[in-house]
Structure 1
Amino acid sequence: MFHLLKAFLSVYETHNFTKTANNLYLSQPTVSSQIRKLEDYLNVSLFVRNGKQEILPTKEADFLYPRILKIIEEWNDAITHVDTQKTYREKCVLASSQTCGAYLIPKIVPVLVKHFPMVNFSFPVMSGPEIVQELEKAKVDFGLIETPERSELMTRHVIAKDELVLAGDSNSDYWILPETNSPLGFINENYLKYNNLSPNLIRTYNHEMALALLKHQVGKTIISKLALDPSIPYQHLKTLNNRNLYL
């Protein structure tokens, strides 16, 4: 049965029988046969063809995918436990968005390593939507994000409050604008539109670069108060000033 489940996972991820065959070192007819056997066993259709090459998952496949991932993960974990016995160390992946990674993770890590000494932790940084996708695929265990992303496959809890402030030289003609697809980029752009402001823009694609510019008294931007050190002046905002941080 496990070889059928692995074939299903690969087809679901690649949307292609040929790619799956190459990944699993099988022939394409063998992959097709394995998928048919799984469909017959479950009495459902798992994939439909969209043109000559692309294979699209059905709603039944969408339902099964994260659960089968978990089954395979638990099986591999059990095998590792048996092999290593007392020396086995668990793994935990806690992904975070940029703000959470820079200012929450360092506060959490000392507690985690103290209370879970037999766990190997990793803390990748990625965007909120990417974290949700990785959670749905069971490739990360927990996520810390500053946007209220939704998914039927996960639960979301508010774990902290964050204040957004206007930091930097209030009289500057330059506005530091973070990358557009980031939460802070979206908030800064909305603030400029709402207040009908057209400053000179300095676009940054790195959180540390924006902070370095503020420390060198270049420009201003809306940023998390958590990020600021005493050398950077700031003003409280009347609107768009509070947001939740989520686990």
Structure 2
Amino acid sequence: MFQILKTFVSVYETHNFTRTADNLFLSQPTVSAQIKKLEEYFDVVLFIRHGKQEIIPTKEADFLYPRALKMMEEWDDTLLHIHIEQNYRESCVLACTQSCGMYLLPKFVPLLIERFPMIDFHFPIMEYKTIVHELEQSKLDFGLIEWPERSEHLQRYVVAQDELVLAGRKEANYWLINECMTPLQEINDHYLRENNLSPAIIRTNSYEMIKNLLNQGVGRTIISKLALSENTPFEVLEMDNHRNFYFLTKEEVVSDLLAEVALFIRTTLQENAPPNR
């Protein structure tokens, strides 16, 4: 049954029987047969088939998908811990956006690794929408983002607050734009349009580069106040310039140890929120 659920999850995510067959090293007829067996078991239609390529999940598939992920995750966790040894090390993947990775992680990681010495932590930096998507698919354990992306499959907790400011010298000739598709880029584009500004643009996909250029006196941009050095000039924005940092978890954390990690991260961040200067 778990192999069939694994096949179902792959078809649901790829919308394609052929791709699922390639991903799982199965034949396409085997994939079709497993989905048919699952549909017969539940006596429902899980996918609407339009031709050979287009596969559309039904509402029954939408209902089954998060539950199948949970069952598979619980099974994997059970297999790991049935054969647990004295030196077994748990793993934990906490994905962060660039801002969270620079300003929140350093505040609590020393406390985290001291509290949980038998856990191997991984802190990948990702775009916020990718974090939400991969957390929904149980590819991550937790996430830290600074934009209120909603998901019916995730829990979201406010753990700190940030302030956006217009940074840089007023006489600067360049505007700094992070070309990654983020709400911060949209905020900068909107500000330029609303104020009828047409400055020369410096584009980069590096938040760190933008921060360092500002701190070296090059260009202007709307950015987190936390990014600025003590000598970087800035103006308070007339718009609503506050945003929250959010800690994301799945609706239920399967491992008791990871549930303890989640609670520790939340409380530590809330107690040690970085102040605005």
Band the TM-score falls in, shorter-chain normalisation:
over 0.9
CA RMSD of aligned residues (A): 1.7
Change (3 A) 1:66 1:234: same
Question: Contact 2:15 / 2:54 at 8 angstroms: preserved in 1?
Answer: yes
Q: Which amino acid aligns with 2:174?
A: Y
2:51 matched to which residue of 1? Answer: 51
Q: Which amino acid aligns with 2:85?
A: Q
Q: Map 1:24-39; keep pairs closer than 5 Å.
A: 24-39=24-39
Query: Secondary structure of 1:163's partner?
Result: strand
Instruction: Give ranges in structure 2 of 5+ residues lacking alignment.
Output: 248-277
Question: Contact 2:214 / 2:228 at 8 angstroms: preserved in 1?
Answer: no
How far the C-alpha of 1:27 sits from its partner, in A, is 2.5
Question: Contact 1:146 / 1:183 at 8 angstroms: preserved in 2?
Answer: no
Instruction: Give ranges in structure 1 of 5+ residues lacking alignment.
Output: none
Question: Contact 2:215 / 2:228 at 8 angstroms: preserved in 1?
Answer: no
Q: Distance in 2 between matches of 1:78 and 1:34?
A: 24
2:159 matched to which residue of 1? Answer: 159
Q: Map 1:42-121; keep pairs closer than 5 Å.
A: 42-121=42-121
The share of aligned pairs that are identical, in percent, is: 59
Q: Map 1:204-215; keep pairs closer than 5 Å.
A: 204-215=204-215
2:261 matched to which residue of 1? Answer: none
Q: Map 1:84-233; keep pairs closer than 5 Å.
A: 84-179=84-179, 181-233=181-233
Poorly superposed stretches of 4+, deviation over 4 Å: none
Question: Contact 2:96 / 2:126 at 8 angstroms: preserved in 1?
Answer: yes
Change (3 A) 1:25 1:177: closer
Question: Contact 1:177 / 1:221 at 8 angstroms: preserved in 2?
Answer: yes
More relative contact order, 1 or 2 (CA 8 Å, 6+ apart) = 2
Q: Distance in 2 between matches of 1:178 and 1:20?
A: 35
Q: Distance in 2 between matches of 1:219 and 1:55?
A: 49
Q: Distance in 1 between matches of 2:237 and 2:31?
A: 58
- State the aligned residue count: 247
How far the C-alpha of 1:128 sits from its partner, in A, is 1.6
Query: Secondary structure of 2:72's partner?
Result: helix
2:262 matched to which residue of 1? Answer: none
Provide TM-score, normalisation by structure 1: 0.93
